[in-house]
């Protein structure tokens, strides 16, 4: 199964990716998570990406494409992949076409999470993440059983530094400016499946699964 999940900041890409991976056991490749891991490991890539991420801006294509290509060439992707947050520009989409053709795993479906932007601020400002296993919580919509402690691994929860209303505005502008073109690109190939992401989490996943069972 070779799939992409797209949608604006806070639409639920990470939350739905966890459910998809749970059911279909394919590698989850989130460029945002990869950059954050590099930042916490203090790598050169992380230091470079941080300058852009802290402002809500996209990391340059060259860096992002190289990182994803390296990841897709790993052995676990021979059974497929779920890309979350990539591609976000037309150049990334075209590069992905080349890479996936070379590994014999062209994109089969693009799940597009649609949501009104006024719901995103509530989701982003209430989000909490696990330091240990990256599980995603929300202080109201999906709280952990013990405040600030992960249900899965017991590690502390934290708030992402770009989860402010100011940075969300920039991230949404970036989405409107660049990522909408990517959706048009995949729509012209008939690959895009729109899902209403304003619904309860299980309903969103059920709708996604209707597209996935056809693959
Ligand atoms: P990235 O980490 O991808 O962030 P994003 O796209 O802004 O999306 P988020 O991770 O914020 O939201 P999500 O859709 O995953 O929502 P979640 O499931 O967590 O990218 C960060 C940065 O990295 C970018 O700004 C850029 O700088 C850089 N970057 C990454 N990829 C790049 C690329 N390809 N090119 C260049 N730069 C790149 O859910 C959010 C909250 O809502 C959670 O609290 C959750 O519990 C809650 N929630 C989820 N679903 C529901 C529901 N159905 N009902 C109620 N609550 C829900
Ligand atoms: Mg995410």
Q: Say yes or no: CB of residue 172 within 6 Å of ligand 1.
A: no
Domains and CATH numbers, the chain: 2-116+166-213 (3.40.50.300), 127-162 (no CATH)
pLDDT digits (tens, 9 = 90+) for 169-214: 999 999 999 999 999 999 999 999 999 999 999 999 999 999 999 8
Which atom of ligand 1 sits closest to the CA of residue 197?
A: 53
Point out the residues that are catalytic. Answer: 13, 88, 127, 160, 171
φ, ψ for residue 12 (rounded to 5)?
115, 20
What's the CA-to-centroid distance between 8 and ligand 1, angstroms? 7
In the DSSP assignment, the letter for residue 200 is: -
The pLDDT assigned to 118 comes to: 84
Answer yes or no: is pLDDT of 63 > 90: yes
Environment class of 129 (CB within 10 Å of its CB; exposed 0-12, middle 13-18, buried 19+): buried
What's the CA-to-centroid distance between 201 and ligand 1, angstroms? 15
pLDDT digits (tens, 9 = 90+) for 1-27: 999 999 999 999 999 999 999 999 999
Which atom of ligand 1 sits closest to the CA of residue 198?
A: 53
Distance CA 192, CA 183 (A): 7
Do residues 110 and 186 make contact, with C-beta atoms less than 8 angstroms apart? yes
- Section 137-160 average pLDDT: 97
Ligand 1: residue whose CA is nearest its atom 43: 127
The pLDDT assigned to 214 comes to: 87
In the DSSP assignment, the letter for residue 156 is: B
In this structure, which ligand is nearest to the CA of 10? 1
* pTM reported for the whole predicted model: 0.97
36 Cβ neighbours under 8 A, 6+ residues apart: 160
What's the CA-to-centroid distance between 201 and ligand 2, angstroms? 15
Do residues 81 and 2 make contact, with C-beta atoms less than 8 angstroms apart? yes
């Amino acid at each position: 199964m070779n799939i992409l999940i797209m949608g604006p900041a806070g639409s639920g890409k990470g939350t739905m990716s966890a459910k998809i991976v749970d059911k279909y056991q394919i590698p989850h490749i989130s460029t945002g998570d990869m950059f954050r891991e590099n930042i916490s490991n203090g790598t050169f890539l992380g230091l470079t990406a941080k300058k852009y991420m802290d402002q809500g801006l996209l990391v340059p294509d060259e860096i992002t494409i190289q990182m994803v290509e390296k990841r897709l060439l790993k052995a676990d992707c021979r059974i497929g992949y779920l890309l979350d947050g990539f591609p976000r520009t037309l150049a990334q989409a075209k590069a992905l076409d080349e890479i996936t053709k070379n590994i014999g795993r062209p994109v089969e479906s693009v799940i597009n999470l649609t949501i009104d932007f006024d719901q995103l601020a509530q989701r982003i400002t209430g989000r909490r993440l696990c330091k240990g296993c990256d599980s995603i919580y929300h202080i109201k919509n999906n709280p952990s059983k013990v405040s600030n402690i992960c249900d899965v691994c017991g590690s502390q929860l934290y708030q992402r530094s770009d989860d402010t209303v100011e940075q969300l505005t920039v991230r949404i502008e970036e989405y409107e400016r660049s990522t909408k073109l990517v959706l048009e690109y995949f729509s012209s190939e008939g690959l895009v499946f729109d899902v209403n992401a304003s619904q309860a989490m299980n309903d969103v996943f059920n709708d996604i699964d209707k597209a996935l069972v056809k693959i």
